Structure 1
Amino acid sequence: MLPNLRSYEDARRAFRWHVPEAFNAAADSLDRQCRPGADPDRTALIARGPAGGVAHFSYGELKRLSDALAAAFANLMVEPGTAVAMLLPQGAEAALTALAALKAGATIAAMDAAWTPEDLARAMRAARPRLIVADAASLAAARAAAPPSAALVCVNAPDDVRDFWSLPLQADAAVGVATRADDSAFLIFSQGRTGTPKAIRHAHRAVLGHLPALEMVFEGVPRPGDLIWPALRPSHPAGLISGLFGPWLLGVPVLAMGAPETPAEAEDRIARIARHGVRLALFTPSAIAGMRLFPEPRDHYAFALRAAACIGGRPAADAEAWCRDELGAPLGRIYGEAETGPVAASHPSWYACADAAGLGRAVPGVAAAVVDGDGAPLAAGAVGRLAVMQDHPGLCLGCEGAPRAVARWARRKYVGRWLLADDLVTATEDGDLAFVAKADDVLPYGPAGFLPDDVERVLARHRMVAAAAALAEGDGVIAAVELKPGVPKGDAAAEALLAADILAEAAKTLAPYALPRRLAFVEAIPRTDEGRAHRARLRDRLDQAAAGSRPS
């Protein structure tokens, strides 16, 4: 979709969206590679096969299997207006489940057994799935959260559950439901970092909305030999759309091997890039941090990687240099939220992000601005909410949940012609966006409020503090502190003295209204997949501690 032009400005002027009225994210991404003139025998997916080991699935084979699986799903009452929930790792089963659900006209809702039981139950209530597909590792969690009416299918199933790989053998005929581009296709769940997790509904057209960002960071895609590894769980907001359907629509095969299965996870990820000849990669910040635990990878492996991108958060300040020096490829950035999809990105030739807070520029086809609370655009350099024009095909259809919660979400997100992101950002005259803070993270004290980072950086300077996370509580700030390895824990009197010392040091820098009124020592600050403090989960742990049980 992205014009092959010499500059960002030319691309923005020339770009036009082409969103057909009839569009199915499965049929128009995978199946189009099997149409006359295409080569259906090309590899579409590299994943573990049903019998174990590495399997190469062609476009034609995936089409045949997903057609049959869609018919089997239809026999289980999956139809337009229903949903299929899956608790599966990255792999062939997850890809086929998503393809079959969309071909049957249903919505695919990717979930994760690692979520808390409360979050998983909440996701099931939002999705109301007609069918749940799980693997043996997540079967117990799926059963505990499943609605009574939902059918259950399992990979390597026990005797009392339908077996996943047997379903295509039981189907009578292929099913292909015609869908509109605006029909529901994906139910995406935010991690609820600052509050209750949200269930965000996206249409089939979301796949088209993700393409310009992929084409930005992976300049010239597709090129001969391109193979992409999205190091993302299917439940990640971009896991299925940017990590599977977008590449297939571009004609790029996907490596989907799931999580490494050995204790040496950092080397496993590095070795995977080299072993399979990965040329394009999508990494979360936490995936990059994990890989960096393996020292000097170029001394051990040869890489074919030509471009990588960080998605779902900002990488560490020196991550670009590490990726270039150790993996031999530039590290771009893709920015977006669960509601917006990717709306900003960097480009290896046109421009790069100037600093660690950089988000890139609005991708061609996306009208974005920094606005105030009333939706009025702000001057360059001013801090405001990032706003995206509502004509962007990557934007969500809406939020699912209790009517009052959905109404509050809509009032906060929609202002005039804009959909507002949850982030506070700034923009330069050239359009370079930079992250400032999550709007919900701003601590409402002092003359104009301030950011938790301001407190956390000061606390983390203490010689015994590994990390800190600040929260608002009533009329003041509280903070959780994670101590460095080797610091004794568990002695109440010693912890009280240490807390007093930390606060005394912090008081030399922080204004009185920013100084935490109390500290709580935790074993580890809970974090999202992107490495950010999960403040809602942290608050729950602190509430438990206040009730008499120490956080873990």
Structure 2
Amino acid sequence: MRAEWVAICDLANTQPGENMTYTVPTAVDADVRAWLAEYGAADADAAYLLVDRHDPTGVAFTTVAPAGADGLVTTDVTYGELADRSRRLACALTRLGVTRGTRVGVLMGKRTELVVTLLALARLGAVYIPLFTAFATPAIEMRLRGGDATIVITETSQADKLAPIDGLTTIVAGDTGDRGFDTLLAGAEPLAESVAVGGDGHLILLFTSGTTGTPKGVPVPVRALASFRTYMRYGLDVSDDDVFWNAADPGWAYGLYYGILGPLLVGRPNILLQAGFSPEVTAKVFGELGVTNFAAAPTVYRSLSKTPVVDGFTLRRASSAGEPLTPDVIGWAQQALGTEVRDHYGQTEHGMFINNHWADELRTPLIPGSMGRPMPGFVTGIVRDQIAIDVPASPAFWFPGYLDAPEKTAARYTDDGRWYLTGDTGRVDDDGNFYFSARDDDVIIMAGYRIGPFDVESVLITHPAVIDVAVVGRPDEMRGEVLEAFVVLAEGLTGDDALEAELQQLVKTGFAAHAYPRTVHFVEALPKTPSGKIQRFILRRQG
């Protein structure tokens, strides 16, 4: 077994096999230790840590909405405004029975009221359940029932989805009635004192995306904020001079952890774009707000790479997470954005923990295909072919177990409890750089060969006609499994036998002769979770 770890002073670990270490600089180590102590303290107060400690005149978020054909309307919200409004909402919620430990659903887009709600719940020691606005009623109900939540805070465009669900109390942003968001705030006095639940107290209940089964509830304790801050500082390298934009949706982990909580922790505003993604709107935001530090899913970068609208912008930092980056995107970004895009890796259960770190103290040359090295506070390795976390040696590891699911929790660990198994297969090279291969269930075993779909997808996406692709295994009597590809073509193009043969040959010459897809399906779109992850289990049923 080969593994790598980050040594945090006296926390260096040993294990059987060939090992590699690299030393964290003293100043980085001191930061991480301080954050772990502060956010993990028995008297940790999430509202203070996120908002009350900041200069009340400082800008916390900038909301952006398209206006007309060419313009943008921007609105700044300060820490003082967030503090006052969240105190008033907290007081109003107490009259509805919300208290410490109460779970409350939040079904809203990227708007100020979402942040106010999160902070109000933190003040009460209550738990915030994010609900993605693209969810239909059944997905919303499953999460509310799973979290035993009967109160939901939403907006007018989403309220109808809640009507079929029995037993709910709803508060609606934009509604002027008795249960309107602003109405409740106007009639409430500010809460005098926040509840400090401590580092182990729960702040959020976030459900996994469910790519390989029923979504599972992940309680996020206050002490997780230490790892979120470490990622903001050393993974993304968000500086005091940056115009930061994490474009991910706060209905999911990356957008919530590092688009809402992370910016509040480091005191640097994030941009909340109140519009769907398009390359044209993205270019306007880059240009008019002067974005210097950008984070988004690989699908955003792939879409941007297919159009010249963002060419010529210069970013200081660009980062990606959610699915591995394909090499073509990295090459494009150097020319179009003036910087490379660095891939980072994590999961809902613990946030980001292996990164191509941007901070000068930890940055190493980018190796295309690698997701980098462990983040300070985490010790990682490869166990049973899976990317794994050495729990006793990882003080920033915070996963408390799935909600009401001890068997599913136990399945995540080795029998001795030492290693947390991510379910993602991967490898580590001789220099300690980690590489993602596939979800454990997605690995294709053909005639004894283990083939990660990402390797094949990385080749297929380089074809100029291909804008999106997924590869799955199909049962085969002789080989066990064979590969099949599902390809989305650029607008106006049509797939045929000639293009199929061309793509098959591309894989033979660009990756491996045995790993080419036996069949190529040309499809209009790939099935994905709302967070953008490909649902390969659906593709396995097709074809």
Give yes or no for contact 1:183–1:203 (8 Å, CA) kept in 2. yes
Distance 1:68 1:388, change over 3 A: farther
Conserved in 1, the CA contact under 8 Å of 2:487 and 2:520?
no
Candidates 38, 47, 53, aligned match of 1:32: 53
Range that drifts further, 463-472 or 102-111:
463-472
Which of 287, 291, 296 aligns to 1:278? It is 291
Q: 8 Å contact 2:156–2:173 — kept in the other structure?
A: yes
The offset of 1:183, in angstroms, is 0.9
The amino acid that maps onto 1:271 is K
TM-aligned CA deviation for residue 538 of structure 1:
3.8
Shift of 1:336: 0.8
Q: Which has the higher strand share?
A: 2
Shift in Å at residue 53 of structure 1? 4.5
Verify: 1:368 aligned to 2:380, yes or no: yes
Structure 1 residues 519 and 53: CA distance shift in structure 2, 3 A: closer
Instruction: Compute the displacement of 1:447 (Å).
Output: 2.8
Deviation at 1:282, TM superposition (A): 1.8
1:338-487 pair list within 5 angstroms:
338-348=348-358, 349=360, 350-352=362-364, 354-372=366-384, 383-390=385-392, 391-400=394-403, 403=405, 406-413=406-413, 415=415, 416-443=417-444, 446-447=447-448, 449-453=450-454, 467-471=469-473, 477=481, 479=484, 481-482=486-487, 484=489
- Note if 1:62 corresponds to 2:82: yes
Rounded to whole Å, the distance in 2 between the matches of 1:464 and 1:394 is 42
Amino acid at match of 1:57: V
343, 350, 353: which one pairs with 1:333?
343
CA shift, 1:173, in A, is: 3.9
Could you tell me whether the CA contact under 8 Å between 1:187 and 1:200 is conserved in 2? yes
Question: How far is 1:502 from its partner?
Answer: 10
Partners in 2 of 1:498 and 1:468 — Cα distance? 19
8 Å contact from structure 1 (residues 191, 528) kept in 2: yes
Mapped to 2, the partners of 1:86 and 1:163 lie a distance apart of 14
Paired with 1:23 and 1:93, the residues of 2 have a C-alpha distance of 24
Any conservation in 2 of the 1:260–1:269 contact (CA below 8 Å)?
no
Amino acid at match of 1:285: P
| Structure 1 gap ranges (5+) | 34-38, 373-382, 490-494, 546-552
Distance 1:367 1:128 in 2: 35
Q: 1:486 to 1:165 in 2, by over 3 A?
A: same
Letter in 2 for 1:182: D
Asked if 1:306 is matched to 2:316, the reply is: yes
Q: 1:473 to 1:258 in 2, by over 3 A?
A: farther
Distance apart, 1:295 and its partner CA: 0.8
Match of 1:45 among 37, 54, 61: 61
Q: Distance in 2 between matches of 1:234 and 1:345?
A: 21
Give the corresponding residue for 2:256.
240
What is the Cα deviation at residue 83 of structure 1?
1.1
The offset of 1:275, in angstroms, is 1.5
1:527 maps to a residue whose letter is K
For residue 372 of structure 2, what is the amino acid of its counterpart? G
**CA displacement at 1:314 relative to structure 2:** 2.4
Query: Cα distance 1:163–1:222, how it changes in 2: closer, same or farther (>3 A)?
Result: same
The change in CA–CA distance for 1:448 and 1:248 in structure 2 (over 3 A counts) is same
Quote the residue 2:231 is aligned against: 213
The residue type equivalent to 2:216 in the other structure is K
Mapped to 2, the partners of 1:142 and 1:501 lie a distance apart of 49
C-alpha distance in 2, partners of 1:341/1:215?
14
Query: Alpha carbon RMSD of aligned pairs, Å?
Result: 3.8
| Segment of structure 1 superposing worse, 521-530 or 265-274 | 521-530
Q: Residues 316, 178 of structure 1: CA spacing in aligned structure 2 closer, same or farther, 3 A cutoff?
A: same
**Could you list the per-position Cα deviations for residues 358-391 of structure 1 after superposition, in whole angstroms to 9, with x for gaps in the alignment?**
111111121222223xxxxxxxxxx543224254
Q: Which residue of 1 aligns with 2:133?
A: 113
Q: Which among 123, 128, 141 is matched to residue 148 of structure 2?
A: 128
Q: Is the 8 A contact 2:254 2:351 kept in 1?
A: yes
What amino acid maps onto 2:437 in structure 1? V
Distance 2:450 2:505 in 1: 22
Distance 1:254 1:357, change over 3 A: same
**Relative to 1, partners in 2 of residues 1:29 and 1:453: Cα closer, same or farther, differing over 3 Å?**
closer
Among 166, 169, 192, the alignment partner of 2:186 is 169
Greater Cα offset, 134-143 or 458-467: 458-467
Cα shift at 1:196: 2.5
SS of residue matched to 1:343: strand
Which whole-Å deviations, capped at 9, do the CAs of 1:453-503 have from their partners, x for residues lacking one? 5776899899998745324569755846346466779xxxxx9x9999899
CA distance, structure 1, for counterparts of residue 462 and residue 311 of structure 2:
33
CA distance in 1, matches of 2:152, 2:462: 47
Post-superposition Cα deviations, 1:367-416, rounded to whole Å, max 9, x if no partner, equal: 222223xxxxxxxxxx5432242543353222136x4xx51342234552
Matches within 5 A, 1:83-122: 83-122=103-142
Q: Tell me by how many angstroms 1:32 deviates.
A: 0.9
Give the equivalent residue in structure 2 for 1:197: 215
Q: What amino acid sits opposite 1:267 in the alignment? A: E
Give the SS at the match of 1:60.
helix
- The 1:127–1:353 alpha-carbon spacing in structure 2 relative to 1, beyond 3 Å, is farther
Per the TM alignment, residue 48 of structure 1 is displaced from its structure 2 partner at its CA by 5.6
Helix, strand or coil at the partner of 1:255: strand
Residue-by-residue CA offset, 1:102-125 (whole Å, 9 max, x unaligned): 212111111113135443332222
From the superposition, tell whether residues 291 and 76 of structure 1 become closer, same or farther in structure 2 (CA, over 3 Å).
Answer: farther
Aligned to 1:23: 44
Find the counterpart in structure 1 of residue 158 from structure 2.
Answer: 138
1:188 matches 2:206:
yes
CA distance in 2, matches of 1:519, 1:42: 53
Residue 315, structure 1, aligned to residue 335, structure 2: no
**1:26-49 superposed Cα distances (whole Å, 9 cap, x missing partner):** 32121111xxxxx32111121269
Please report how far the alpha carbon of residue 158 of structure 1 lies from its aligned counterpart in structure 2 after TM superposition.
7.3
Distance 1:487 1:57, change over 3 A: closer
Report what 1:72 is aligned to. Answer: 92
Q: Which amino acid aligns with 2:426?
A: V
Structure 1 residues 447 and 40: CA distance shift in structure 2, 3 A: same
Change (3 A) 1:218 1:499: closer
1:282-337 alpha-carbon deviations (Å, 9 max, x no partner): 211122223334415355xx65x432321223223143444443333453333211
Which residue identity lines up with residue 437 of structure 1 in the other structure? A
Contact 2:357 2:364 in 1 (8 A): yes
Could you tell me how far 1:243 is from its partner in structure 2?
A: 1.5
Contact 2:460 2:507 in 1 (8 A): no
Cα shift readout 1:65-94 (whole Å, capped 9, x = no counterpart): 111111112222222222111121112121
The aligned residue for residue 303 of structure 2 is 290
- Are the counterparts in 2 of residues 456 and 470 from structure 1 also a CA contact under 8 Å? no
Equivalent residue, structure 2, for 1:228: 244
Query: Which residue matches 1:492?
Result: none
- SS at 2:195 equivalent: coil
